Structure 1
Amino acid sequence: MAVKKKRQQKSLAASRPPTVQRPKSISRTATKALINKHHLLEKRKQQAIAKGDRAAEAAISAEIAALGGLEHYQTASLQGQRHDRGGDSSRVLMDWLQPCLLEHKAALKESPLRMLEIGALSTQNACSKSGYFSIERIDLNSQEEGILQQDFMQRPLPKDASERFDVLSLSLVLNFVPDPEGRGEMLRRTSQFLHPPGHHLSTPSLNVNFPSLFLVLPAPCVTNSRYLDVERLTAIMCSLGYTSVASKTTQRLVYYLWKRDSVAPSCGERFTKKELRLGSFRNNFAVVLK
């Protein structure tokens, strides 16, 4: 007589449908192509809007929608944050800040620093897990609970110190702004959300790094642009009241930590779209401050 095999009991979790469907993996090449295509189409769309060409604007919008819209772009961006593709950019920020944060570990557990993460894709990055920060996360198209759907350029300005931040994270966001003037205005606006210079003056080790802006860009935006290089970017940031604290360049990305150490003048220096490098192989990424 055949012996019946004992059926292995499944856990309750195994029998439930997943609450979040993981996106299918996208190859590195496909990820890069999709992101570049989105950037190109957004640039063309803004050009059509500037010319008042409604037909071209509608056609480009349809092309963006056919690619999957912002949701598909974000899926590609999330794939790019996987550990095997360069990983979470906030790990670089944590590496830079860890020494001074450790020095004040007990105090920061009780009263964490405030961070605004612009263009947030996840609530589980290195900064979120560190316990040193109270984080507000915003994105144009929220992908999960804990991320407010909001356009940073439309976010109400802080009314008082309780609505300001010690650090802003702008990781792979500025390059998605389709026009140079818009990028300049975004950088200008960041300082309005940070505490004023000297906010941590009574704590020298914190004052070295805060208040600050963490900026991440695709490396070619700075290393291979006709209109932007490290010197130009530094001059723009200095005109906005920032000084460089740390930087890192890899094959794919450039990382910067900028400290707000002065108040930008109401009529600062103008930065136009000026050619800095020659060569047909250069890209046209630029930042303009009017």
Structure 2
Amino acid sequence: MAAKKKKGPLKNLAAGRPPVLHRPKSMSRTATKAIINKHHLLQKRKRQAIAKGDKAEVAIIDAEIEALGGLERYQEASLQGQRHDRGGDSSRVLMQWLKSTFSPQKPDSSRRLRMLEVGALSTQNACSKSGHFDIVRIDLKSQEEGILEQDFMERPLPRDESERFDIISLSLVLNFVPEAKGRGDMLRRTTQFLRAPGRYIDSPGLAASFPSLFLVLPAPCVTNSRYLDEERLVAIMESLGYTMAESKTSQRLVYYLWRRVRVCKGPGTVFPKKEVRSGSSRNNFAVVLS
């Protein structure tokens, strides 16, 4: 009987850890929606408690969030929402829009475009598999190897053009920012990470789509908000130097591709919180540029 081989010592702590991503058991659409909605509600209550300076209430809410599973559970629900039978990977819409821009053959590494994917949940989405992008993926809580654990609002600004990106993806990220002003700040900050519009002057195909911002939101944020409709969103984005290149509305989501057409200098136009629709059934999603 052969002797069992003795295992050697672990090289480092990481070598002995299980994989970061544990694929959750499938959740029903109802359960997925309930977790996401509950998480958003608790975050809203927490913001209100912080504004009041009620530390005891903040602690209670934090305990409720932890009992719900914290950010990890929210991300599991979000991953379930990316299943094909529930609308699937949102980047498939982006790749469909860019189909005529790219040739069928995958480019070599020197010709791939740079993408920054904020709120990345997977390294296996349509953009990743396309072969047309070198992707930097970041998220507040990394779910797998290849995703950097980082807050976009704290990411160091690019030092030069080589550190900027051709496209930024904000898919179901902006709606998770707790305050209306914070959402405006995030949209404004995207312009600091994108390359200048004139870079693609010798490539009309690329110039029609890049540099750009891929933005995905729950449809009610735009279709049923008291403070935001598509007309106001267009005005906000245009004030930041963007123009709408593509849009799509499904039952659950709204998709936009915003092309950066100019570099804005100075403070720009102010967009306060302003009612654009009345009615008790409206939600309070808003974007503020101050």
> Is the shorter-chain TM-score for this pair beyond 0.5, marking a shared fold?
yes
The structural deviation recorded for 1:107 is: 4.7
TM-score, reference length from structure 1: 0.91
State whether structure 2 residue 140 is matched by structure 1 residue 140. Answer: yes
2:181 counterpart residue number: 181
- Cα distance in 2 for partners of 1:271, 1:18 equals 45
Partner SS, residue 116 of structure 1: strand
Deviates more, 1:108-117 or 1:258-267: 108-117
Equivalent residues in 2 for 1:42-57, closer than 5 Å: 42-57=43-58
2:258 counterpart residue number: 258
Count of residues in Structure 1 that have an aligned counterpart in Structure 2: 273
1:10 counterpart residue number: none
The structural deviation recorded for 1:61 is: 1.1
Partner SS, residue 102 of structure 1: coil
The structural deviation recorded for 1:20 is: 5.4
Query: In the TM superposition, what whole-angstrom CA distance separates every residue of 1:40-81 from its partner, at most 9, and x where no partner exists?
Result: 111221222222221121111111111100000000000000
- Cα distance in 2 for partners of 1:20, 1:244 equals 36
Preserved contact between residue 246 and residue 256 of structure 2 (Cα < 8 Å): yes
Partner SS, residue 156 of structure 1: coil
Partner SS, residue 23 of structure 1: coil
1:3 counterpart residue number: none
What amino acid is the match of 2:89? D
1:204 counterpart residue number: 204
State whether structure 2 residue 30 is matched by structure 1 residue 38. Answer: no
- Cα distance in 1 for partners of 2:283, 2:191 equals 28
- Percent of aligned positions with the same letter in both sequences? 71
Gaps of 5+ in 2: 1-17
State whether structure 2 residue 239 is matched by structure 1 residue 232. Answer: no
Deviates more, 1:201-210 or 1:244-253: 201-210
The structural deviation recorded for 1:265 is: 3.0
Query: In the TM superposition, what whole-angstrom CA distance separates every residue of 1:226-259 from its partner, at most 9, and x where no partner exists?
Result: 0000000000000111000000000000000000
- Cα distance in 2 for partners of 1:231, 1:87 equals 27
2:130 counterpart residue number: 130
Over 3 Å counting, the alpha-carbon distance change for 1:110 and 1:224 in structure 2 is same
TM-score, reference length from structure 2: 0.91
The structural deviation recorded for 1:108 is: 5.6
2:167 counterpart residue number: 167
Preserved contact between residue 20 and residue 144 of structure 2 (Cα < 8 Å): no
- Cα distance in 2 for partners of 1:264, 1:51 equals 36
What amino acid is the match of 1:256? Y
Gaps of 5+ in 1: 1-16
2:151 counterpart residue number: 151
Equivalent residues in 2 for 1:36-115, closer than 5 Å: 36-102=37-103, 105=105, 107=107, 110-115=110-115
What amino acid is the match of 2:151? D
- Cα distance in 1 for partners of 2:143, 2:91 equals 18
Over 3 Å counting, the alpha-carbon distance change for 1:216 and 1:19 in structure 2 is closer
- Cα distance in 1 for partners of 2:38, 2:179 equals 15
The structural deviation recorded for 1:19 is: 8.6
Partner SS, residue 267 of structure 1: coil
- Cα distance in 2 for partners of 1:144, 1:225 equals 34
Query: In the TM superposition, what whole-angstrom CA distance separates every residue of 1:123-180 from its partner, at most 9, and x where no partner exists?
Result: 0000000000000000000000000000000000000011100000000000001110
Preserved contact between residue 170 and residue 213 of structure 2 (Cα < 8 Å): yes
- Cα distance in 2 for partners of 1:108, 1:168 equals 21
- Cα distance in 1 for partners of 2:138, 2:65 equals 22
RMSD between superposed Cα atoms in Å: 1.5
Over 3 Å counting, the alpha-carbon distance change for 1:37 and 1:109 in structure 2 is same
Partner SS, residue 101 of structure 2: helix
